[in-house]
Amino acid sequence: MLADVVGEISIKQKLIDELEASQKRLRAMRAHYEEKLCTLANKIRETELERDKVLANLGQLCLTTSTRFIRCIHDSVT
């Protein structure tokens, strides 16, 4: 009877140890996931800012080019 109780305690202790180890792995995986998610969100934000700058520069370039083209046509007509 005492051996059965000791055996059950041993089994339950092993289960507790496995559960604690699983929780530790889960916390580590979660921290890693959240870190990666934050890194990716920052990269997306940086890429969007870069895209906006390129589009603004492209718009300015098109406006300047159009203005020069119109002046060229106007100068050649007059």
The Cα–Cα gap between 75 and 40 comes to: 52
What is the per-residue burial (b if ≥16 Cβ within 10 Å, else e) of 5-26?
Answer: eeeeeeeeeeeeeeeeeeeeee
pLDDT tens column, 19-50: 999 999 999 999 999 999 999 999 999 999 99
Residue position matching structure tokens 């889960």: 26
Nearest to 7 by CA among 15, 78, 36: 15
**3-state DSSP assignment of residue 78:** coil
Question: Which H or E run includes 38?
Answer: helix 2-77
**pLDDT for residue 69:** 67
